[in-house]
């Protein structure tokens, strides 16, 4: 990636819906150059798509939590099966497969504390492979809107 690719990436991270003409003007190149570079970033897999940012409280899911889960036995089929199951749940925002004390961190959004309790007790701990669960309620979730290339 060169400096022009980085500049285009910065512009698109600030607003993925910007027109190619706007991106070109912001980085100081012709629209055809910006389009060619943006296509190249997509073809190389650097830009993988655009994500819709949803207000979780606005859709009735204001309570977020990070749930640390330990799995036993820690074999590839058990880990991958649990990962796929957890990622498919409607409450799940993200699943992190981790090393250390926990095998997973599951980021969820639910309507209320009773729903969170039900998710942990009725869904997670009912799974035979779940050995331990620790839940942390998220008070605030801040995101970095633009990650610069290394």
CATH number of 3-43: 1.10.10.10
Query: What is the model's pLDDT at position 125?
Result: 94
Q: Where are the domains of the chain?
A: 3-43, 57-138
Radius of gyration from C-alpha coordinates of the chain: 20
Q: What pLDDT band is residue 8 in, cutting at 50, 70 and 90? A: very high
Which H, E and C letters describe 2-44, residue by residue? CHHHHHHHHHHHHCCCCCHHHHHHHHCCCHHHHHHHHHHHHHC
Determine the average pLDDT of the residues in 17-27. Answer: 95
Predicted TM-score (pTM) of this structure: 0.82
pLDDT in tens, 48-103: 988 888 999 999 999 999 999 999 998 999 999 999 999 999 999 999 999 999 99
Would the CATH topology of 3-43 be identical to that of 57-138? no
Higher pLDDT, 101 or 148: 101
Tell me, what's the pLDDT at 74?
Answer: 86
**57-138, what's its fold?**
Alpha-Beta Plaits (3.30.70)
């Amino acid at each position: 990636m060169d400096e022009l690719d980085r500049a285009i990436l910065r512009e698109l991270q600030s607003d993925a819906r910007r027109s190619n003409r706007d991106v070109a003007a912001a980085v100081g190149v012709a629209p055809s150059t910006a389009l060619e570079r943006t296509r190249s970033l997509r073809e190389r897999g650097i830009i993988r798509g655009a994500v819709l940012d949803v207000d979780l409280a606005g859709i009735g899911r204001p309570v977020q939590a990070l749930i640390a889960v330990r799995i036993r036995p820690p074999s590839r089929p058990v880990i991958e099966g649990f990962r796929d199951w957890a990622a498919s749940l409607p409450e799940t925002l993200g699943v992190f497969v981790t090393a250390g004390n926990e095998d997973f961190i599951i980021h969820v959004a639910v309507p209320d504390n009773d729903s969170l309790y039900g998710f942990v007790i009725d869904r997670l701990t009912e799974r035979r492979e779940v050995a331990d669960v620790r839940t942390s309620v998220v008070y605030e979730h801040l995101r970095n809107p633009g990650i610069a290339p290394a």
